[in-house]
Chain A
C-alpha cells in the first residue's frame, strides 16, 4: 500500500523534475551520448601521459574523465584558459590549455593553442581603453579607441564624462600619441590633441545653458604591460579651453586606466 512509487513526496518531485527538464534544454556534461565526434572540429592526439577532463571551465569543477596518451581529442572551443574537448566516444568536457601543451595533429606535427600574451600587446593595432580619474575635482570616466600606425606613433579617439560638484562636463577628442621607447617595460608617451569640451553647470533652481568650447590637449603618460592583452596606463593631461569669455581656461586631468589590445 505504502509503495515508495506512489508516495506523494516522490510524485511531487517527479513532477518538478519534469518541469525542470522542459525548462532546461540540455545539461552539458551529463549527456555522454555515444555519437560521433563533430566533423568540423580540429583533431589532435595527446602526447603527455594523460589529460584531465573537467565538467566545466574552472578549477572548481570536478574531473570526470581522463584522456590517455595517444588518444585523439577534438578541440571544440576555448574559454579563458580552458578548451572544450570531445573524446572518441564523444564525451565532452573541459581541459586546461596548460595541460594541452603536448599535443600533435594527425601528421605528427606539434600543435599549440594560442593565448594572448606580451607579443599581442606589442603587435596588435587596435586598443580599447577605460580610465577613471580626476578632472579638476570632478570624477571622470573615460573611454578611448587607439590605432597604432607604427611602433612609436598612434592615434586615439577619446571621450570623457566628468561629474563634479558644480558642473558636469563631456569631452571628445582626437589625439596623436608618441611613444619614444616602446620596448621599455614602463613606456612613456607624449600626447597632442584637440577636441571639444561641453560643460553644463549644476543648478537645481536656475536654468543654465551648456557651454561648448574648443580644447587643445597636451599630455604625458606611462604605459606598462599588465598581463595577456592588458596594459596599465597613467596619464596627466592639460585641457586648454578656448572660450568666448574674457580669458581662456586651463584644466588638469589625472587618470588611471587600462588598455585592452584587440
Chain B
C-alpha cells in the first residue's frame, strides 16, 4: 500500500518535472541548433485572391407549356435555382405550376367532371442534375458570336394534383445562350414521368413541358 502510494507520488513528481523542464530544454535546443543549421530561406507566404464567385443561376420561366397526359396542354409558370458544380455539371431545383384541362372522357361522355377546379391545379418540384454538352459559340448573322451550350438533365421530384402526390422522374434537354456573362436565355424541354390512378387503374404517364427561361448568374 505504502510503496504503491510512494510510487504514485514519484511518478507524479517526475511528470511535473518533465512538464516544467520539457519546453525550456527544447527551447534551448532550438537556439543552439539555429546557429548550426539555420535554413537561409524565407518562407514564401501565399495569399488567397479576394475574388467573387458566381456559381448560382436563378431562372424565371418567361413562358412555357405543359401537356398533362389526358388533360390537354396549358401554360406553365415557375422557376429554378441552379448551382454550377463545374463547367460540366450543374444541379438544379425547379418548381412549376399549371392547370389541367378537361380529359377526353369528360368531354365525350358529358358526365359530371372528374375533378373540381381546385383539384385541377397541378404543381411540381424537382431536383435534377444536368450535364453541359457541346459548349461553344452560336453565330447569328455575320457580327454576332454568342456563347452557349446544350445540356442533358434528369432528376426526381414530386407532382401534386387531385389531392395526391405523385413521385416523378424527369428527363430532358435544353439549350442556353448567353448574351452577357451573367445573363442567359434558356429553352428547356422535359418529360415528367409519373404514375397515377385517376382512371381506376395505375398508369404511367409521360407529361412533356417546354419552357423558355431567363436566368441571372450571381
Contact = CB atoms under 8 A, between A and B. Distances in A.
Interface of A: 13, 16-17, 20, 24-30, 42, 44, 55-62, 75-84, 105, 109-114, 130, 132, 138-139, 141, 161, 163, 168, 202, 204, 228, 230, 260
B156 A132 contact: yes
A247 to B, nearest CB: 27
A79 B84 contact: yes
Contacts of B50: 42
B158 to A, nearest CB: 6
A163 B48 contact: no
A77 to B, nearest CB: 5
Contacts of A230: 85
Contact of A26 (B45, B147, B179, B217): B179
B85 A56 contact: no
Given A17-B141, A26-B180, A58-B87, A79 B53 contact: yes
B54 A77 contact: yes
Contact of B47 (A82, A105, A132, A204): A105
B14 interface: no
Given A42-B49, A60-B135, A79 B44 contact: no
B49 A113 contact: yes
B144 to A, nearest CB: 7
Contacts of B51: 42, 75-78, 83, 113
Contacts of B86: 80-81
Contacts of A82: 87
B158 A141 contact: yes
A228 B217 contact: no
B132 interface: yes
Given A13-B141, A77-B52, A130-B127, A28 B178 contact: yes
Given A80-B55, A130-B127, A228 B85 contact: yes
B55 A25 contact: no
15 contacts: A25-B179, A25-B180, A27-B144, A28-B179, A29-B145, A44-B49, A58-B135, A77-B181, A79-B217, A109-B46, A110-B46, A112-B47, A139-B167, A163-B165, A228-B85
A187 B114 CA distance: 52
A111 B46 CA distance: 6
Nearest to B155: A132
A56 to B, nearest CB: 4
Nearest to A64: B145
Interface in B176-212: 178-181, 183, 197-198
Nearest to B164: A202
A113 B48 contact: yes
Contact of A79 (B48, B49, B55, B134): B55
Contacts of B78: none
B174 interface: no
Given A55-B137, A77-B54, A28 B147 contact: yes
A78 B156 contact: no
A235 B69 CA distance: 36
B96 interface: no
B144 A20 contact: yes
